[in-house]
Amino acid sequence: MQHTKEAEKLVEIIRPYTPDHLYKYRSIKAKGVKDIFIKRKVYFTDATKFDDPFECRPILTFHESSLKREQDLKKLAKNKFPNADKRTIKKLIKGKKRFLTDQKTLRGTYNSLIKNIGVYCLSEIKDDLLMWSLYADSHRGFCIEFDPSHENTLFWEAFKVIYQEEYPTVNMMDIGKAEEFRKAYVTKSLHWENQKEWRILKMEHEGGPGPKEFSPELLTGVIIGALMRDEDTNVLLEWIEKYPSKINLYKAELNPKKYKLDIVPYRP
């Protein structure tokens, strides 16, 4: 029951609304990009491989109360050894109390957690000039449109990233709770706010990093970059032609008067 309540609270905190679409900027040469269309698979990376060195670096803390720390250790021991008797549990937690207060141990535990979490990053905007430059081969790539509105599907699971100036403080003994989870895994520097990022997380028991399949109808559109080469466009169109459901095609065009992109229907 408690687990269900925390899951509901997590959705409420991290998914305050459902975006109309979520977008992934890609280069035609990126590893695994063909699999998105041919195999309906996207690849989740682990958080230790992000470009931003400030990513996933919260301040780690613990419960001040020695009684609460002992209770937490007892809970961990019982979860790991559900059939152990009271005497065995007491032996297990004896001498382990420094685990909750030693910063090196806390950091090591946190790093081992994030290494086994798969992350897929998306955005709720499709016309950001910087993201087209950074993630879509300087406008020579393309942008994929996904539908996040269908409950219990892959892209519906995306969480809205929170942006702030300071590192969040995370209580490692409460990391399974909604608020601590948010701070630990979906908080970034305010400098990235323009990206309006959403991310899907797959914990270790859900498969962690690696390929994840999605239903064909969740890929609803493709935006061809303003500077995409004709030969690359042809390759992309071949992939789309073989796709099992309808994909709406668009073209990003440089606005003649402003520093902006116009996303228009694609006309060969």
Question: Which of 74, 70, 99, 68 is CA-nearest to residue 89?
Answer: 74
Q: Looking at the structure, tell me whether residues 211 and 80 fall in a common domain.
A: no
Asked, for residue 107, whether it belongs to a domain, the answer is no
CA atoms of 130 and 139, how far apart (whole Å): 9
Q: Is residue 198 part of a domain?
A: yes
CB 188 within 8 A of CB 58: no
253 and 123 in a common domain: yes
| Domain membership flag for residue 147 | yes
175 and 89 assigned to the same domain: no
Task: With respect to residue 247, please indicate whether it lies within any of the assigned structural domains.
Answer: yes
222: confidence class by pLDDT, cuts 50, 70, 90 = very high
pLDDT of residue 60: 83
Total domains in the chain come to: 2
CA dihedral (122, 125, 126, 128) in degrees, to 10, reads -100
Stronger pLDDT, 100 or 75, i.e. the higher one? 75
* Domain limit, last residue, from 73, 100, 127: 100
On whether the pTM is more than 0.85, the answer is: no
pLDDT of residue 99 exceeding 90, the answer is: no
39 and 70 co-located in one domain: no
Residue 111 domain-assigned (yes or no): no
Residue 209 in contact with residue 235, Cβ under 8 Å?
no
Cα–Cα distances (Å) from 84 to 70, 75, 90, 93, in that order, read 17, 12, 10, 12
Q: Where is average pLDDT lowest: 72-86, 109-123, 137-151, 183-197?
A: 72-86
pLDDT at 84: 56
Instruction: Check pLDDT > 60 for residue 246.
Output: yes
Question: Does one domain contain both 83 and 206?
Answer: no
**Do both 79 and 6 map to the same domain?**
no
Please indicate, yes or no, whether residues 156 and 178 belong to a single structural domain of this protein. Answer: yes
* Pair (41, 174) in one structural domain: yes
Are 133 and 251 within one domain?
yes
In the prediction, which pLDDT does 82 show?
Answer: 62
Residues in the chain: 268
pLDDT at 103 over 80: no
The rounded distance, in Å, linking the Cα atoms of 165 and 172 is 21
Q: What percent of the chain has pLDDT over 90?
A: 57
36's CB contacts (< 8 A; 6+ apart) are 26, 42, 144, 219
What is the domain extent for residue 68? 63-100
Q: Is 163 helix (H, G, I), strand (E, B) or coil?
A: strand
Together in a domain, 41 and 78: no
Beta carbons within 10 angstroms of residue 152's beta carbon? 6
Give domain status of residue 105, yes or no.
Answer: no
Residue 154 lies in a domain: yes
State residue 226's pLDDT score: 98
> 113: part of which helix (H) or strand (E)?
helix 103-115
Q: Closest by alpha carbon to 133, among 119, 143, 120?
A: 143
Dihedral pair phi/psi, residue 120, rounded to 5°: -125, 120
Q: Which residues of 85-106 are buried (b: 16+ CB within 10 A; e: fewer)?
A: eeeebeebbeeeeebbeeeeeb
Amino acid in the structure at residue 209: P
pLDDT reported for residue 102: 65
Inside any domain, residue 109? no
At residue 127, does pLDDT exceed 70?
Answer: yes
